């Protein structure tokens, strides 16, 4: 079974530029998550989708971050404009339903904002 795919794996941009990350979840997984992991900290949930609807986006900085999951499969996370403090690893995860133990993570996209 293929895992959660993310691209790109690495991205370097300058502050105030825009960037987008892509995630392809495990086939058949209805729930998709985006997490932000700053160096030295645990991952923080940014947004959770159930199919193509948003379940929780309470920690998403909506003035600069946006995410969509068209057709309930792939998802993109965008930052516009980027700030220095957005430097982090962005992890995508997916799960069959709403059970913690079925949540699988992708390898992440490492973003550096200069």
Q: Which residues bind other proteins (CB under 8 A)?
A: 4, 31, 33, 40-45, 48, 55-56, 91, 93, 95, 97-108
Half-sphere exposure (CA, 13 Å, Cβ side) for 18? 9
Q: How far is the CB of 102 from other proteins (least distance, A)?
A: 8
Question: If we measure between CA atoms, which residue out of 71, 72, 54 comes closest to residue 62?
Answer: 54
Region of 40 on the Ramachandran plot (φ > 0 left; ψ -120 to 50 alpha; else beta): left
> Which is closer to other proteins, CB of 19 or CB of 106?
106
CB of 72: closest distance to other proteins in angstroms? Answer: 17
Shortest reach from residue 37's CB to other proteins, in Å: 8
Provide, rounded to whole angstroms, the least separation between the CB of residue 73 and other proteins.
18
Closer to other proteins by Cβ: residue 6 or 19 = 6
Under DSSP, is residue 27 helix (H, G, I), strand (E, B) or coil? coil
Longest dimension (CA), the chain: 38
Structural contact between residues 95 and 35, judged by C-beta atoms closer than 8 angstroms: no
Looking at the Cβ atoms of 50 and 52, the one nearer to other proteins is 50
Give 81 or 107: the residue with its C-beta nearer to other proteins. 107
């Amino acid at each position: 079974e293929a895992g959660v795919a993310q691209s790109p794996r690495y991205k370097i941009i300058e502050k105030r530029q825009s960037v987008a990350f892509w995630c392809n979840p495990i086939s058949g997984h209805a729930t998709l998550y985006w997490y932000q992991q700053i160096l030295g900290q645990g991952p923080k949930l940014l947004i959770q989708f159930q199919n193509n609807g948003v379940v929780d986006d309470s920690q998403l900085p909506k003035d600069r971050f946006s995410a969509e999951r068209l057709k309930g499969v792939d998802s993109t996370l965008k930052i516009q404009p980027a700030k220095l403090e957005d430097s982090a690893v962005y992890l995508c995860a997916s799960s069959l339903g709403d059970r913690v133990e079925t949540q699988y993570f992708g390898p992440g996209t490492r973003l550096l904002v200069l």
